[in-house]
Amino acid sequence: MGYQTALDLVLAMKQAYFDERDVDGVLDKVTEDIVWIGMSKGEEAYDKTELRALLERDRQEHPQSFNVLLGEHRVVVHTDHWTTVIISGIQRFLPDENMDFHIRCSMDCVL
């Protein structure tokens, strides 16, 4: 995947998922045994096939890009290859700038 740090990977995921709404771009950054837990009921996926279905459904329901204003982040290094990244921010629908959602995301990254 070629990312220098776990934070680089998380920022690339943010760009693919929120900015570009690029399902393949997201899937290129995860392993086959991905566990994805979204913010709403039914937004769980336990492998890449389930994640593709979830992301395609999400993109169909919300095809527009989201403006995600990143806030604080924390990087917890467990080992040389395993890191957890926790990010908070605000997700804003575009072009309707009046619909803000506070979000928090955590990812365990193996590089």
pLDDT in tens, 6-31: 889 988 988 999 889 999 999 999 99
How far apart, in whole angstroms, are the C-alpha atoms of residue 97 and residue 92? 6
At 13, list the tokens. Answer: 């995921």
Q: How confident is the model at residue 2 (pLDDT cuts 50, 70, 90)?
A: low
How far apart, in whole angstroms, are the C-alpha atoms of residue 111 and residue 109? 6
The Cα-based distances of 110 to 5, 82, 88 in angstroms read 10, 5, 21
Q: How confident is the model at residue 91 (pLDDT cuts 50, 70, 90)?
A: confident
pTM of the predicted structure, to 2 decimals:
0.82
Nearest to 31 by CA among 93, 99, 95, 110: 110
- The predicted-structure confidence for 31-76, as pLDDT tens digits, reads as follows 999 999 887 788 899 999 999 999 999 999 888 888 788 888 899 9
Of the CA atoms within 13 Å of residue 104, those in its CB half-sphere come to 3
